[in-house]
């Protein structure tokens, strides 16, 4: 895989460089609530612009239905990118149409443009190779060189991620090079003990990575909504908590295999419950109580790890040499249910382990709860991509960058 440093050594002045970024930031209307993904691609964009490239930045945002939708416009992201660069960033109001062609044609050396949300064109996400390829052909007309730097999208077989690199000289940006280097530390020559913390809503989202990690990890700590399927699999009452009944046999098999292989599975010993899911807009008090994990009352919903679980998990992470964390421990967006996620983050900050926060809600939680990002070994920009890499899957966007 060629890197951006090799491209810079060859010279980029006057060249149109297409940067496939991941600007898929959370929005409250037109206000960006977390600009982490924009800041993550900044080194690549800034370096190319400094070297005289005419930089064309492209990304998706959200899940529009293959047609323009103002709610998913990249205009706020383009404006924020300009603020971070300290320079004007042009914005095209379409992907490959008249505005995109004119905007790119109007760039001078060292200038940057963002084109509109790639998913406004149905060719971006099409499962039909010909339709995707036709869109990739149109995108290729906007550029001389391709730089892949949208790690959060490399697990998608989309036109701008998979098909476009085949049509242009292609290189990996700084973010992708960093992400791949970090993930290799989690899959080859891992420093032990190796602890993995998995949370989030659904156990079905994590089955593949659990299966893979049973061959590699020393400890697996489970939290979030998925924990209640594990507790149910052990025969415990889980009240009205999130539960995937159909996954209980798979969970029981994982617990059996873990015991057989000597992998320690750590589950909550107490949980914070409430009568209903909290209001995340008003943050109104949710009247939580703490109960033993094996004594949850019917009609109560588990929404966070309890204080004894927080102490237990911190102790299980204290001596780890490597930690991978993906998924919050509870409904961290509400103050009554943020302590479990905060405790895991604090344990990683206090630990001497090489810690990787696996993107998505985990990365958002670190920022929302006020932690210094530099206190962690690495905060990934791609939760789904990180998980699929750890499952051992071939990621289309990375395969496309290989020569």
Residues shown for the chain:
403
Vertex 381 angle, CA 199 and 314, to 5°: 35
Strands (E), 181-328: 194-198, 219-222, 264-266, 270-274, 289-292, 301-305, 322-326
Q: Which residues are catalytic?
A: 37, 202, 360, 384
Vertex 320 angle, CA 314 and 326, to 5°: 70
Cβ density class 56-83: b for 16+ within 10 Å, e for less: bbbbbbeebeeebeeebbbebbbebbbe
- By DSSP bridging, strand 145-148 and strand 170-172 are parallel
- By DSSP bridging, strand 112-114 and strand 27-28 are unpaired
* Contact of 24 with 60, CB cutoff 8 Å: yes
Nearest to 322 by CA among 358, 299, 356, 347: 356
Which segments of 141-235 does DSSP mark as H helices, in order?
A: 174-185, 207-213, 227-233
Nearest to 198 by CA among 261, 266, 257: 266
At 83, which helix (H) or strand (E)? helix 75-85
Three-state DSSP at 190 gives coil
Two structure tokens written together for 103: 């905007």
């Amino acid at each position: 895989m060629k890197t951006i440093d090799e491209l810079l050594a060859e010279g980029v002045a006057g060249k149109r460089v297409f940067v496939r970024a991941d600007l898929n930031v959370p929005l409250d209307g037109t206000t960006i609530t977390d600009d982490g993904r924009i800041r993550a691609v900044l080194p690549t964009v800034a370096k190319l612009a400094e070297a005289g490239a005419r930089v064309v930045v492209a990304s998706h945002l959200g899940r529009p239905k293959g047609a323009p939708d103002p709610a998913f416009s990249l205009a706020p992201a383009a404006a924020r990118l300009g603020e971070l660069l300290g320079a004007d960033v042009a914005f095209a109001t379409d992907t490959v149409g008249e505005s995109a062609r004119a905007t790119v044609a109007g760039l001078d050396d060292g200038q940057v443009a963002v084109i509109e949300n790639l998913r406004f064109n149905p060719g971006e996400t099409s499962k039909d190779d010909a339709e995707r390829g036709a869109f990739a052909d149109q995108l290729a007309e906007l550029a001389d060189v391709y730089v892949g730097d949208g790690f959060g999208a490399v697990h998608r077989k989309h036109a701008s991620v998979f098909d476009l690199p085949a049509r242009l000289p292609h290189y990996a940006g700084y973010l992708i090079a960093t992400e791949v280097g970090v993930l290799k530390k989690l899959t080859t020559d891992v420093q032990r003990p190796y602890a993995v913390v998995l949370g989030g809503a659904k156990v079905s989202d994590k089955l593949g990575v659990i299966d893979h990690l049973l061959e590699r990890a020393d400890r697996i700590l489970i939290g979030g909504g998925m924990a209640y399927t594990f507790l149910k699999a052990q025969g415990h009452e889980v009240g009205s908590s999130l539960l995937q009944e159909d996954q209980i046999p798979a969970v029981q098999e994982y617990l059996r295999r873990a015991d057989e292989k000597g992998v320690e599975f750590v589950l909550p010993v107490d949980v914070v419950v409430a009568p209903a899911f909290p209001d995340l807009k008003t943050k109104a008090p949710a009247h939580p109580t703490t109960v033993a994990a094996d004594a949850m009352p019917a009609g109560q919903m588990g929404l966070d790890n309890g204080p004894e679980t927080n102490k237990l998990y911190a102790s299980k992470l204290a001596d780890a040499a490597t930690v991978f964390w993906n998924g919050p421990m509870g409904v961290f967006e509400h103050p009554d249910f943020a302590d479990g996620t905060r405790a895991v983050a604090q344990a990683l900050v206090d630990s001497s382990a090489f810690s990787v926060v696996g993107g998505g809600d985990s990365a958002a939680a670190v920022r929302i709860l006020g932690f210094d990002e530099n206190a962690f070994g690495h905060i990934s920009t791609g939760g789904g991509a990180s998980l699929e890499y750890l499952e051992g899957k071939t990621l289309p966007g990375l395969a496309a960058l290989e020569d």
